[in-house]
Structure 1
Amino acid sequence: MNVATAQPDILEEDRLRADLYNYLGLMLVGPPDQMLLDQSAGLTGDGTDLGQAIQGLARVANVSKPKAVQTEFNALFIGLGRGELLPYASYYLTGFLNEKPLANLRATMATFGIERSGDVFEPEDNIASLMEMMAGMIVGRFGRVATVQEQRTFFNAHIANWAKLYFEDLQAAKSSVLYASVGAVGAAFMDIEREAFRMTAS
């Protein structure tokens, strides 16, 4: 995504939220290299569901090798013709690619001045891009920090209605090893975000 360079003051909890969105986007856009695996192995969590999922991810990352993870990534997301999972909102919500959810997302992106990078060719409604967009809205990478209302609207319209199911499918996918742990983190995080936005709306 083409982004601006604004660096406003951000609450620590929001910066941590953005960091986790960014991390998920990074893990889902391509197979992690040794550096990212090492960083993942160093993650720590607490006793919450999310914390436990993060600890599980760290343990798996610690014994994962880049070549094996690349094979896993290819089986899950690329495959021969297609991978085991199709990580697109349109597919999850309609059963087809490039449908109304993608058009709706593009309309929302336009209101925030978010543009797809020139070197990205897959549809914008893929899970990695949505994680990246959400992070950017939280910390103001698209020119300004999105309000909580704007974040909630974006999350509910483009993420909440399918992302947890996708992360659960990632956990259950037969090719998943490291990515089963990524799915566990994603699913737990989606629960937290959905509940937090529900509380701010009341």
Structure 2
Amino acid sequence: MSGDKKTPREIQDLAAVAEEDRVRADFYEFLAGLLVRPADTAMLRRLSALSGDDTDIGRAIEALAAVARSMSTTTVRREFNDLFIGLGRGELVPYASFYMTGFLNEKPLARLRQDMARHAVARAEAVFEPEDNIASLCEIMSGLIRGRFGAPLPLPAQREFFATHLAPWAAHFFSDLEAARASVFYAPVGTLGRLMIEIEREAFRLGGGTDP
């Protein structure tokens, strides 16, 4: 995904994003980076240096750091292929349309494309897979919070995007990723994703309105 070059006004808007929202954006971006392609040597090195704490997220980070220290890029690439690519299809199909309808390229993708156009989110030229991939959705959510595609999206609009495109299926996907037969490196990634979706769902619920 890509947005236009930021104007001075947009840079000013970005500086005004609350610290807790920058943390949210960073977490979504972190998940997107882990899910868009297999981790390379530099990423494994960075992950190996992470440390957590005595919280659910902290323990998942510790687990991810431990597997990053124990695995090679070749092993991670093989696991990524087994999970998401496979011979014809991987163990998991990380697309909103599939989880929500049982088929690819269905109405959830059409709704996403409409909302991407509404929020000035453009598909990256080098990306050919459907935009409702979990990595793309995490990247878009990060950009909407941070103001990558213009002014930072107000919380009610963030909540609407989350409720439409992530809440109906992402926690289910991340739970499947935790439990997948092929998951070793990606099991704690699944835990982190599931916890993030649960935290976001609860935060938006407490903010008022219908639970996403």
Does the CA contact (< 8 Å) of 1:40 and 1:61 recur in 2?
yes
Superposition pairs of residues 1-202 of structure 1, within 5 angstroms: 1-4=1-4, 5=6, 6-7=10-11, 8-9=14-15, 10-201=17-208
Does the CA contact (< 8 Å) of 1:33 and 1:66 recur in 2?
yes
Does the CA contact (< 8 Å) of 1:50 and 1:188 recur in 2?
yes
Counterpart CA distance in 2 for 1:112 and 1:174 is 38
The one-letter amino acid paired with 2:158 is Q
C-alpha displacement of 1:175: 0.7
C-alpha displacement of 1:60: 1.3
C-alpha displacement of 1:43: 2.1
How many correspondences in the alignment?
202
- C-alpha RMSD of the superposition: 1.1
SS at match of 2:207: helix
C-alpha displacement of 1:64: 1.6
SS at match of 2:151: coil
Counterpart CA distance in 2 for 1:122 and 1:25 is 15
SS at match of 1:84: coil
Counterpart CA distance in 1 for 2:201 and 2:91 is 27
Counterpart CA distance in 2 for 1:130 and 1:175 is 23
C-alpha displacement of 1:46: 2.6
Stretches of structure 1 lacking an aligned partner (at least 5 in a row): none
The one-letter amino acid paired with 1:109 is M
Stretches of structure 2 lacking an aligned partner (at least 5 in a row): none
C-alpha displacement of 1:62: 1.7
Does the CA contact (< 8 Å) of 1:53 and 1:188 recur in 2?
no
Over residues 145-191 of structure 1, what are the superposed CA-to-partner deviations in whole Å (9 max), with x where a residue is unaligned? 00000111100100011001000101111111100110011111111
> Please, what TM-score do these two structures have when normalized by structure 2?
0.92
C-alpha displacement of 1:116: 0.7
The one-letter amino acid paired with 2:72 is K
> Please, what TM-score do these two structures have when normalized by structure 1?
0.96
Over residues 92-142 of structure 1, what are the superposed CA-to-partner deviations in whole Å (9 max), with x where a residue is unaligned? 000000000000111111100111111111100000000000000010000
The one-letter amino acid paired with 2:160 is T
After superposing on structure 2, the runs of 4+ consecutive aligned residues of structure 1 that deviate more than 6 Å are none
SS at match of 1:201: coil
